[in-house]
């Protein structure tokens, strides 16, 4: 079994802190930005990026942090686009639940 704390060392707030550190002021992220990127790109289903525990917070890998930074450096509107995609997915889910 892999060492969870080694392969996935970050909780969401730590992902935010590490990405902000790496971006060094290019963009300041909040937890909501990470939440939108997760939803938009189905990150929680990717075991390279994410590990779900039964009775503890979800954990994220350094690869996820690097991916976020890389996406932003490739497209500085990445987080805004992720929010739009996440909002559309939420709206689509809400439509399917309505009677």
Nearest one of 49, 90, 51 to 71, comparing CA atoms: 49
Whether residue 13 is contained in a domain is answered as: yes
Whether residue 86 is contained in a domain is answered as: yes
Whether residue 47 is contained in a domain is answered as: yes
Whether residue 20 is contained in a domain is answered as: yes
What whole-number distance in Å separates Cα of residue 49 and Cα of residue 7?
9
Residue 5: what pLDDT? 85
Q: 13 is in which domain, residue-wise?
A: 4-92
What whole-number distance in Å separates Cα of residue 4 and Cα of residue 14?
15
Give the contacts of 81 (CB within 8 A, at least 6 positions apart): 40, 75
Q: What is the pTM of this model?
A: 0.88
Residue 95: what pLDDT? 60
- Whether 16 has a pLDDT exceeding 70, the answer reads yes
pLDDT in tens, 39-54: 999 999 999 999 998 8
- Whether 92 has a pLDDT exceeding 80, the answer reads no
Whether residue 54 is contained in a domain is answered as: yes
- Indicate the average pLDDT of the chain: 92
- Calculate the alpha carbon distances from 67 to 15, 37, 61, 95, 97 in Å: 11, 11, 10, 31, 33
Whether residue 39 is contained in a domain is answered as: yes
**Total domain count for the chain?**
1
Whether residue 51 is contained in a domain is answered as: yes
């Amino acid at each position: 079994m892999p060492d969870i704390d080694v392969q996935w060392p970050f909780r969401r707030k730590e992902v935010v802190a590490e990405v902000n550190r790496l971006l060094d002021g290019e963009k300041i992220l909040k937890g909501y930005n990470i939440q939108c990127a997760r939803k938009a790109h189905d990150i929680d289903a990717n075991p390279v990026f994410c590990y779900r525990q039964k009775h503890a917070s979800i954990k994220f890998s350094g690869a996820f942090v690097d991916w976020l930074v890389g996406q932003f450096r490739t497209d500085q509107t990445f987080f805004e686009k992720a929010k739009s995609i996440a909002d559309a997915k939420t709206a689509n889910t809400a439509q399917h639940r309505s009677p």
